[in-house]
Amino acid sequence: MQKIRYCALGAVLLLSVSSVSVLAACGRRSFAAVTSETATHPFAETERETVQTEAAREKKNDERMEEGNEGYRGFTLDDVLHSEEGDVHFNLYIPESYDGNTPYALYLTLPGYEGLYFQGVGINIQSEDFAFEAQKYNEKMIIAAPQLEDWGEISARKTVSLTEYLLDHYSIDRMKVYINGYSGGGETLSMVLDMHPELYTAALMCSSRWDGGYDTVTAAKISVYFVIGDSDEYYSADPFRKAYQEIRKRYEAEGLTEDEISKLVQLDVKPESYFRAGGVNNQHGGGGMLFPRDESVMGWLFGEH
């Protein structure tokens, strides 16, 4: 795990539904206190399950892959891909209906700070609901939930390696490859899209900021949706507003129509009333809870653009 870099602006107090989290440092490299409002807790042993779906998983023999031997709500926990960038730990869901003959959709969800690997195996799919809510939109979809070490360039390269592995080893509909990132996972996602946007069909950026470039994204014309609270306590909405405008500017320069641009990039800044109605008190952590359950948000990701 990288050392977390702190800024000198001091401590910020954030209130969540279930607890009071103290933000020990407000720099862009400390996510500990802006956790999802679905607070993390260690897995109880009774929540784990023995993986018994070997036939459904159809894993190919590959010396780069180590398969986990425990599961949680249909996911195999702690599969490990030995990539050139280092080990990639991830949790994997293969629908029982998958037999390798019909191409399935693929979805990757990148977690915030509380879901990183050092926090505990499988904690990302316990603390965030993206992986489970996604199943409501497409029954024929393989879902991978990586647990990265941080939100930097190496983690972005590991995400690319995992995506390429899954595309190579499963029957995937290349027109239905989706990815999202929440908080620190969104920072990673922006770099993933800067590196290899052509791997994905659509990307959902939640409560985060854009750290990558823009030219490769607009050249690939991947659809990107930005969603954040208007008063997000960690990032503010300004970085997303800037990224949205930068992407729009490039499409406008190409002569794309407003309708064409709106299919390729969307900015959704949620007002305070949205979070109050959802029963949460802070917008950053609340986004991690509300956005995966919002049909207008997730429906966009898995819809046609």
- Give the pLDDT confidence of 278-292 residue by residue, as tens digits: 999 999 999 999 999
% pLDDT > 90, the chain: 78
Pairing between β-strand 104-110 and β-strand 172-182 as defined by DSSP bridges: parallel
Q: How many whole angstroms separate alpha carbon 125 and alpha carbon 136?
A: 16
263 inside domain: yes
pLDDT of 225 higher than 70: yes
pLDDT of 14 higher than 50: no
Question: What average pLDDT does the segment 266-276 reach?
Answer: 98
Contacts of 207 by beta carbon, 8 Å cutoff, 6+ apart:
112, 182, 183, 186, 227, 228, 229, 232, 234, 235, 283, 284, 287, 288, 291
- Give the pLDDT confidence of 166-178 residue by residue, as tens digits: 999 999 999 999 9
Q: Identify the pLDDT of residue 305.
A: 62
With cut-offs at 50, 70 and 90, classify the pLDDT of residue 21: very low
pLDDT of 300 higher than 90: yes
Q: Identify the pLDDT of residue 61.
A: 55
142 inside domain: yes
1 inside domain: no
4 inside domain: no
2 inside domain: no
Q: How many domains does the chain have?
A: 1
Q: Identify the pLDDT of residue 62.
A: 72
Question: What average pLDDT does the segment 107-125 reach?
Answer: 97
Question: What average pLDDT does the segment 2-21 reach?
Answer: 33
- Note whether 37 and 113 are within 8 A (CB): no
Question: What average pLDDT does the segment 127-136 reach?
Answer: 97
Neighbouring-strand partners of residue 107: 143, 178
7 inside domain: no
Q: Identify the pLDDT of residue 126.
A: 95
Q: How many whole angstroms separate alpha carbon 244 and alpha carbon 300?
A: 16
For residue 192, give its domain range.
12-301
Q: What is the CATH number of the domain that holds 68?
A: 3.40.50.1820
Among the ranges given (38-47, 189-198, 250-259), the one the predictor scored with the smallest mean pLDDT: 38-47
232 inside domain: yes
Q: Identify the pLDDT of residue 218.
A: 98
% pLDDT > 70, the chain: 79
Q: Which amino acid is at 119?
A: Q
pLDDT of 22 higher than 50: no
213 inside domain: yes
- Give the pLDDT confidence of 74-83 residue by residue, as tens digits: 999 999 999 9
- Give the pLDDT confidence of 23-70 residue by residue, as tens digits: 333 333 344 444 443 333 344 443 545 444 443 344 545 788 999 999
Determine whether 179 is exposed, middle or buried from the number of CB atoms within 10 Å of its CB (0-12, 13-18, 19+): buried
